[in-house]
Amino acid sequence: MLWRAALAALPFAGYALAQSATQYTDSDTGITFWGITDASHGVTYGYVFPETDTGEFIGEIVAPIATGWAAQSPRGSMLNSILLMAWANGDDVVHSVRFATGYVEPEPMEGPIITVLPSTMVNATHWKWVYRCQNCTTWTGGSIDPDGSGAPAWAFSSEPVDSPADPDTDFSEHTDFGFYGLDFSAAHASQADYDNWAAGGTGGGGSPTTTTTTTTTGPTATATPTPVDYIVVGAGPGGIIAADRLSEAGKDVLLLERGGPSTGETGGTYTAPWAAGSGLTKFDIPGLFETLFNDANSFWWCKDVTTFAGCLVGGGTEVNGALYWYPTDLDFSTANGWPSDWTNHNPYTNKLKQRLPSTDAPSTDGKRYLTQVYDVVGELLKPLGFRSITINDDPNSKDHVYGYSAFDFLDGKRAGPVATYLQTALERENFKLLTYTNALNVVRNGSAITGVRTNDTSIVDGVYTLKPGGRVILSAGTLQTPRLLFRSGIGPSDMITLVQGNAAATPFLPDESDWIDLPVGDNVSDNPSINLVFTHPDVDSYDNWAEVWADPRPEDAEQYLEDQSGVLAAASPRLNFWRAYPGSDGKTRYMQGTARPGAASIDTENDYDINKVFTITCYLSTGITSRGRVGIDAALTARPLVNPWLTDPVDKQVLLTGIKEIVSAIGNVSDLVMITPDNTTTVDDYVNDYDLTAMNSNHWVGSASIGSVVDSHAKVMGTDNLFIVDASILPALPMGNPQGAIMSAAEQAIAKILAL
Ligand SMILES: Cc1cc2nc3c(=O)[nH]c(=O)nc-3n(C[C@H](O)[C@H](O)[C@H](O)COP(=O)(O)OP(=O)(O)OC[C@H]3O[C@@H](n4cnc5c(N)ncnc54)[C@H](O)[C@@H]3O)c2cc1C
Ligand SMILES: *[C@@H]1O[C@H](CO)[C@@H](O)[C@H](O)[C@H]1NC(C)=O
Ligand SMILES: *[C@@H]1O[C@H](CO)[C@@H](O)[C@H](O)[C@H]1NC(C)=O
Ligand SMILES: *[C@@H]1O[C@H](CO)[C@@H](O)[C@H](O)[C@H]1NC(C)=O
Ligand SMILES: *[C@@H]1O[C@H](CO)[C@@H](O)[C@H](O)[C@H]1NC(C)=O
Ligand SMILES: *[C@@H]1O[C@H](CO)[C@@H](O)[C@H](O)[C@H]1NC(C)=O
Ligand SMILES: *[C@@H]1O[C@H](CO)[C@@H](O)[C@H](O)[C@H]1NC(C)=O
Ligand SMILES: *[C@@H]1O[C@H](CO)[C@@H](O)[C@H](O)[C@H]1NC(C)=O
């Protein structure tokens, strides 16, 4: 049996990092690990590193006794990563270090030196494996950076291994797996504690190298910042467009961004070995998109948000697939939840198109590359009545159409708002961008906002202030704008109560009499998406994009470096399609398809040619009725509280109808084979059994919807001068991947704010 490629690369649509690691103390030993407890199986996975890197760590797995086996991989990929696995055999814990170079059972591995520590045990309810792992941070074909961060994986099986007494036993594929964010650089203990634990000792547990202290020592800052007209929080698409248009109108604007540089133009330098010295970073080179999900040094993800969120200049637009759709009239219709004075979006969409035109042929030589998936999927769609169009030439045509994928790339590079709007803002003296500056809350005097509190220790209380009549605009994204509101006493009382209970945040919370009760976080949506995987003899899977970082096809790398042309001048998608479906509730829903070479996950009993694989992702978009809720937990981590996917059975019915229609036409394309689901699984079973969190498309909108949290001037209700300009205010999902609609909404919001 072939193993799923699931751990190889995360889906194009993105896969929710369901959790971030936190520090916990093992009560049996006093060892302070960094890790998670996986909620579905109750297994705890932890790591702790010595004060300075010596290539080792102490790890542990604590699992309920019924667990077949459990394993952890500090580098979250199945291929070329060490896998530390264990299981109980009577009163013993048996362990094994494994390594896989293909999607087959991982083989026992030589190299890591494991010392089982004395707290390893089996009791009536659990088994626990505590071990020292030396020679474990670098291995042939991979490494982790103990001073960086990463996305470790865990794998779990409810089935026992074949021969529990034998460390080299065979076993079948995991029944579940996941990833989580881990800031390795924080997960260190003092050398004295580490040495004690590594020698089998217990106790201690001071962690002097962690940076979670909230008070700063040293002289109190006395500098006061210059007050401005507008403080904009967050340099994603919403915040950049807001800051550019406001500074263009002559306002003094301060843009605060918690992350650092992204593209070369912003001072970024992180790039693939083959592009070193070119000035082109991981974020510039479109063909490196898929590598964002499979890199040990993932500094670009926000670590205190459990979904993927870009924490760097450009926000989501520096880490997204760059699919870019001009909005449709339906996107801004009253039926989609917009106030009537927002429905004429065209003047604002036109402003956006002027600054940031789309392209469906991003290579600088104007040619299209790797078009086989486009050709094959076109043959599949034509008998179903679809016609080919240039999608952004006719945005309102979204029924039975397909076309080449359109992107916000310019000159063969990732562009978006960073290469356009931000550059004009930076030329103005009345505009200032501060990076690595984390906003904590807005400073309120009742309904009036007077400034923004940040972690900047160089100014008094970290507070940036407003001129009289000044305004604050929050643009921190659908998950993080709500956290800023809760920390400012705005939102449902259950969320503000969590802030009140948090030692770092409670001192800055306004009196309860000043709390503003608004449904912040309610009614969010994200497109549910389901992948279908196929093979066709004409297709080139492009090695599933797995080699583009370390070992690209030489002619493609050379061509890209020469003049930003060729395969690497585009992200992975090659074709998009749309179709409208009536629902049994009388509402019309649209399905979007995105087709690309390669696959994130393959599940089949049959043989197939890995070099011929491609994926069609089917998303439900405009008209979708399912909703969820986002918020925070006691640690102030931003997270979904209620998942938004397919909570309405009619949404599920329509998605299933759409998928079945695609599948019905497979026989029209000779040699086209669907391998996931394969011929042993019905489409109904596949959709019914689909892992809900794998439906995440990272397209969250609606946590501060217009009409319920902000008014038609994008002003937070109950405040005098607090505004929101980001994906949070969209009351419902647009027709396609949302950044085009978000940017058009930002243009319109700023026009309305300036007119106030
Ligand atoms: C993996 C992935 C793939 C995607 N693919 C596509 C795609 O192909 N096409 C598409 O249209 N959309 C795509 N999206 C969605 C799209 O990128 C987002 O919808 C869009 O970026 C949201 O814009 P925003 O301005 O609301 O917030 P964001 O882009 O999230 O920007 C928020 C900014 O605020 C900063 N910030 C947050 N909190 C604070 C704080 N307290 N202080 C200071 N700064 C703060 C963040 O660092 C960030 O820079 C994708 C998203 C992801 C994550
Ligand atoms: C460390 O591990 C590698 C394999 O990853 C192995 O080749 C090497 O010999 C090991 N070194 C020691 C000192 O054991
Ligand atoms: C077994 O050990 C685990 C992990 O330390 C602990 O949580 C659990 O309470 C123990 N069970 C019993 C019955 O002692
Ligand atoms: C403020 O927070 C940002 C983002 O977390 C961080 O990079 C920066 O170092 C912090 N600044 C200070 C002074 O701690
Ligand atoms: C708060 O606002 C009131 C008016 O609403 C004003 O009298 C008072 O001076 C303000 N306080 C501060 C600290 O700005
Ligand atoms: C949530 O959406 C439902 C309908 O989809 C609507 O009735 C309700 O008012 C919305 N609530 C908020 C807080 O927007
Ligand atoms: C071709 O597509 C049509 C339209 O869906 C379908 O009815 C027909 O069964 C397909 N033919 C084959 C051979 O699959
Ligand atoms: C499924 O497809 C494989 C080839 O991909 C074939 O060998 C097998 O017989 C098929 N099984 C069924 C039940 O149709």
Neighbour count for residue 470 (Cβ, 10 Å): 19
What would the two tokens of residue 592 be? 């979007």
Is residue 728 in contact with ligand 6, taking CB distance under 6 Å? no
Nearest to 193 by CA among 31, 26, 47, 33: 31
pLDDT of residue 173: 79
Task: Kindly tell me the sign of the dihedral angle through the C-alpha atoms of 686, 577, 331, 396.
Answer: negative
Ordered by where they begin, the domains of the chain are 22-199 (2.60.40.1210), 224-262+300-359+423-518+630-637+702-755 (3.50.50.60)
pLDDT tens by residue, 471-518: 999 999 999 999 999 999 999 999 999 999 988 999 999 999 999 999
Q: What is the C-alpha separation between 392 and 409, in angstroms, rounded?
A: 14
Q: Across the chain, what does the average pLDDT equal?
A: 92
Work out the average pLDDT over 240-267. 98
Task: Kindly tell me the sign of the dihedral angle through the C-alpha atoms of 362, 364, 369, 374.
Answer: positive
pLDDT tens by residue, 35-91: 999 878 899 999 999 999 999 999 999 999 999 999 999 987 767 889 999 999 999
- pLDDT above 90 coverage of the chain, percent: 81
Neighbour count for residue 206 (Cβ, 10 Å): 11
Task: Kindly tell me the sign of the dihedral angle through the C-alpha atoms of 503, 508, 513, 519.
Answer: negative
Is residue 215 in contact with ligand 3, taking CB distance under 6 Å? no
Measured in Å, residue 523 CA sits from the centre of ligand 6 at 6
pTM: 0.78
Measured in Å, residue 720 CA sits from the centre of ligand 5 at 13
pLDDT of residue 610: 94
Work out the average pLDDT over 677-706. 94
Nearest to 145 by CA among 79, 53, 73, 82: 53
What would the two tokens of residue 751 be? 């026009």
Region label for 225, one of left (φ > 0), alpha (ψ between -120 and 50) or beta (otherwise): beta
Nearest to 491 by CA among 468, 517, 513, 465: 517
Task: Kindly tell me the sign of the dihedral angle through the C-alpha atoms of 593, 596, 599, 600.
Answer: negative
Measured in Å, residue 61 CA sits from the centre of ligand 3 at 13
Is residue 347 in contact with ligand 2, taking CB distance under 6 Å? no
pLDDT tens by residue, 294-331: 887 889 999 889 899 999 999 999 999 999 999 999 99
Range of weakest confidence among 38-42, 71-75, 593-597, 617-621:
38-42
Work out the average pLDDT over 573-580. 98
For residue 10, pLDDT over 90 is answered with no
Which residue type is seen at 667?
G
Nearest to 67 by CA among 152, 176, 147: 176
Region label for 544, one of left (φ > 0), alpha (ψ between -120 and 50) or beta (otherwise): left
pLDDT of residue 78: 64
Ligand nearest to the CA of 514: 5
Atom of ligand 3 nearest to the CA of 123: 1
Angle subtended at Cα 658 by Cα 657 and Cα 659, rounded to the nearest 5 degrees: 95
Instruction: State the pairing for strand pair 253-256/431-434.
Output: parallel
Q: What is the C-alpha separation between 351 and 355, in angstroms, rounded?
A: 7
Q: What is the C-alpha separation between 249 and 590, in angstroms, rounded?
A: 38
Residue nearest to atom 9 of ligand 5 (CA): 445
pLDDT of residue 103: 67
Residue nearest to atom 6 of ligand 5 (CA): 445
φ/ψ of residue 414, rounded to 5? -60, 130
Work out the average pLDDT over 453-480. 97
- pLDDT above 70 coverage of the chain, percent: 95
How does residue 129 score in pLDDT terms, banded at 50, 70 and 90?
A: very high
pLDDT of residue 58: 97
pLDDT of residue 211: 38
Atom of ligand 8 nearest to the CA of 679: 1
Is residue 1 in contact with ligand 3, taking CB distance under 6 Å? no
Which residue type is seen at 171?
F
3-state SS, residue 503: coil
pLDDT of residue 219: 60
CA torsion angle for 194, 195, 196, 200 (degrees, to 10)? Answer: 100
pLDDT of residue 208: 37
Nearest to 324 by CA among 291, 360, 355, 299: 360
The better pLDDT of the pair 409, 24 is held by: 409
Please, is 751 exposed, middle or buried when counting C-beta atoms within 10 Å of its C-beta (0-12, 13-18, 19+)?
middle
How does residue 18 score in pLDDT terms, banded at 50, 70 and 90?
A: low
**Among 444, 445, 511, 721, which residue has the most ligand 5 atoms within 8 Å of its CB, making it the best to mutate?**
445
Give how far Cα 67 sits from Cα of 45, 125, 152, 323, Å.
14, 10, 20, 41
3-state SS, residue 375: helix
Work out the average pLDDT over 623-641. 94
Find which of 111-115, 183-187, 449-453 is predicted with most confidence, using mean pLDDT: 449-453
pLDDT of residue 476: 99
Work out the average pLDDT over 749-756. 97
Task: Kindly tell me the sign of the dihedral angle through the C-alpha atoms of 332, 334, 339, 341.
Answer: positive
For residue 215, pLDDT over 60 is answered with no
Range of weakest confidence among 34-38, 263-267, 641-645:
34-38
Q: Where are the alpha helices (DSSP H) in 648-702?
A: 649-664, 683-688
Instruction: Give catalytic residues, as residue numbers.
Output: 699
For residue 740, pLDDT over 90 is answered with yes
Measured in Å, residue 99 CA sits from the centre of ligand 1 at 35
The distance from CA 143 to its chain's CA centroid, rounded to whole angstroms, is: 22
Work out the average pLDDT over 545-558. 95
Measured in Å, residue 719 CA sits from the centre of ligand 6 at 21
Please, is 260 exposed, middle or buried when counting C-beta atoms within 10 Å of its C-beta (0-12, 13-18, 19+)?
middle
Is residue 459 in contact with ligand 7, taking CB distance under 6 Å? no
What would the two tokens of residue 388 be? 């080919």
Atom of ligand 7 nearest to the CA of 665: 2
Work out the average pLDDT over 250-265. 98
Beta-bridge partners for 715: 723
Neighbour count for residue 412 (Cβ, 10 Å): 24
